[in-house]
Amino acid sequence: MPNVRSAQTDKVNFFGNATPRELAAKYGTPLYVYNENVLRRRCRELLGLSGLPGFQVNYSAKANTNPALLRIVREEGFHADAMSPGELHINKLAGFTSDLLLYVCNNVSAAEMKNAVDNGLLVSVDSLSQLDLYGTVNPGGKAMIRINPGIGAGHHKKVVTAGKETKFGIDPTAMDDVRALLKKHNLTLAGINQHIGSLFMEPDSYLNAIDFLLHFVQTDLADLFPSLELIDFGGGLGIPYHKYENQPRLDMEALGTRLHAKLSAWVDETGYKGKFFIEPGRYVTAECGVLLGTVYATKFNGENRYVGTDLGFNVLVRPAMYDSFHDIEIYRENGQPDADLVEQTVVGNICESGDILAKKRPLPLIREGDVLGVLDAGAYGFVMSSSYNQRPRAAEVLITSDGTPKLIRRRETLDDLTRCFVEEE
Ligand code: LLP
C-alpha cells in the first residue's frame, strides 16, 4: 500500500495485517501500536550478548509496563526490575515471580522497602541513609547497594545517572560506612549495582564502567566478595532514533564479544559463582512502538509552517522534556511517496508553546487528515504520558506475531479522569 512516507515500518511489516490508517480508524488516535516480532527480536539480541551461565538480562520495566509486553519479555527468559510498588504489582500481574524480580529504588520509605522484602525481592539501596533504614526493615537479611562509579553517560544531562552531579548511588569511597551499617543490622551484602545513564551508541563508556565495578568488587570489597550473588551493570543501551538518516545501530556483536570476554576472564580469575545482570529498558521496547496521531490543522505563522495534531506532550513528552528526536512517517489515503521536503513544525493540542513534537523538520508536505506515525515510541512513551489539559490517556494495541492487532489497553474515558475526586459534602 503506497504511502507518503513509510519505508521504516514497511521494512519490518510493522502494522501486520492492518494499515496504520485502519488502526487509527478502528481504535482512534492518539494510539500506541506495538509489534511483537520486533520486541522478541530485540530480546534475543540482548540474550545473545553472552552465553555465560550466570548472565541474565533484567528488563528495566520503567520503559514500558504494559503487561502484554511484560509477558512477552518474561517468555523470552528475562528477569525484570521494579522501582516502585506499582511496578512491582504490575510485574507480578504479568507473571514475574519474586525470583525473577529485583527492587532498584531511590529515596523510598520503610513501608515501601518492607513491601518489596515481603514479596521476596532483593532490594538495592542507593545511599547510606537508605541502607540504615533498610537494616531496620530487614535485620539479618540480604542487602544490595548501588554504587555511583563517577563515570556518567547519556543523551541528555537529565538522564546521566552517575557522577557527582546526580542524586544516584553511594560514593565508592564510603565502603567503611557501608561495612559499619551492614554490621549494625547484621546484613549480608548479596548484590551490587550501577547505572551510568541512558542511550549510549558506542560500547566504550559502558564497558569502562563495567571494568570499574569489577575492579572495585575485587579490591575495595574483597572482604565482602564471598557473599556476593549478583553484580548488575545497569542499562543505557541506545537505539538509532535517526532511522531516515541511516544512523548506525549500536554494534551488539562487538559489545557482546567484548562483554563476554571480560566477564569470562573475571570469573576465571576470581572464581565468582553468582549472576551478572545487564538492565536495559529502552533497547528492549523503544523500537517495537509507533505512536499514531491525526493531523487536524496546518497553518503558517510568518515563515513557519505548523502541523497541528493530537500528539501533544501529554502523549509523548520526550521531545519537550529532552529535545529528543523521533522520526515521523506520513500515512495518507492513496498517498504517493514524496521526495520534496518542506520545513515543518509538528505540534500537539496542549495549551503551551513548548508543545512541540518536531521543530522545523524537513518532511514531505503534511496535510489535514494525514495519519502520522512517530517511530521508536515504545520506551518512555506511554509510561511518561499524562492527562494534562484533562485529556484521557491513549489506547495501546499489540500487533501479534501473526499480524493480528489486539487491544492491550483501552483508551481512558472522562470517568477515568474524575474517578479520584472526592465530592465535598
Ligand atoms: N536501571 C536503572 C537503575 C535505571 O535507572 C534505568 C533508567 C535503567 C536501568 C534503564 O535504562 P535504559 O536502558 O532504558 O537507558 N526517560 C528517559 C530515560 C530515563 C532512564 C531512567 N533510568 C528517556 O526517555 O530518555
Q: Where are the domains of the chain?
A: 7-34+288-418, 97-280
* Ligand 1 center from residue 58 Cα (angstroms): 12
User: Which superfamily does 97-280 belong to?
Assistant: Alanine racemase (3.20.20.10)
Query: 3-state class of 98 per DSSP?
Result: helix
Q: What is the mean pLDDT of residues 224-232?
A: 97
Element (H, E) at 211: helix 204-219
Instruction: Copy the grid coordinates of residue 67.
Output: 503487561
- Predicted local distance difference test score (pLDDT) of residue 1: 63
Out of 69-73, 310-314, 420-424, least confident range: 420-424
State mean pLDDT over 317-340: 96
Q: Which atom of ligand 1 is found nearest the CA of 63?
A: 14
Give the pLDDT confidence of 170-223 residue by residue, as tens digits.
999 999 999 999 999 999 999 999 998 888 999 998 999 999 999 999 999 999
- The predicted structure's pLDDT at residue 153: 66
The HSE-up count of residue 418 (CA atoms within 13 Å, CB side) is 4
User: Tell me, what's the pLDDT at 152?
Assistant: 67
DSSP 413: -
pLDDT tens across 242-267, in order? Answer: 999 999 999 999 999 999 999 999 99
pLDDT greater than 90 at residue 425: no
**Neighbouring-strand partners of residue 298:** 307
Helix (H, G, I), strand (E, B) or coil at 143: strand
Q: What distance in angstroms lies between residue 375's CA and the mean position of ligand 1's atoms?
A: 19
Active-site residue among 43, 288, 351, 420?
351
257-307 residue pLDDT tens: 999 999 999 999 999 999 999 999 999 999 999 999 999 999 999 999 999
Beta carbon of 318 within 6 Å of any ligand 1 atom: yes
307: its cell numbers: 502541523
What is the 3-state secondary structure of 153-176? CCCCHHHECCCCCCCCCECHHHHH
Class of domain 7-34+288-418: mainly beta
Bridge-based pairing state of the strands 122-125 and 142-146: parallel
- The share of the chain scoring above pLDDT 90, in percent, equals 93
- Kind plus residue range of the DSSP H or E element containing 10: helix 7-11
Residue with cell 514475574: 96
Q: 317 vs 425, which has greater pLDDT?
A: 317
Say whether 43 is catalytic. Answer: no
The atom of ligand 1 lying closest to the CA of 384 is: 16
Can you tell me the mean pLDDT for 35-45?
98
Number of H helices and E strands in the chain, helices first, is: 13, 17
Residue 64 Cβ contacting ligand 1 at under 6 Å: no
- pLDDT above 70 coverage of the chain, percent: 97
Q: How many CA atoms lie within 13 A of 36 on its CB side?
A: 20
Residue where the block lists cell 556476593? 228
**Which parts of 252-363 are beta strand (E)?**
275-278, 289-301, 304-309, 328-331, 342-347, 356-363
196 Cα to the center of ligand 1, angstroms:
9
Q: Where are the alpha helices (DSSP H) in 48-167?
A: 67-75, 85-93, 110-118, 128-137
pLDDT tens sequence across 123-165: 999 999 999 999 999 999 999 999 998 876 666 777 766 677 7
**Residue 189 Cα to ligand 1 middle (Å):** 24
Q: Do 63 and 40 meet the contact criterion of CB atoms below 8 Å apart?
A: no
Average pLDDT over residues 386-405: 98
Arithmetic mean of pLDDT, 58-69: 98
Q: Say if residue 62's pLDDT is above 80.
A: yes
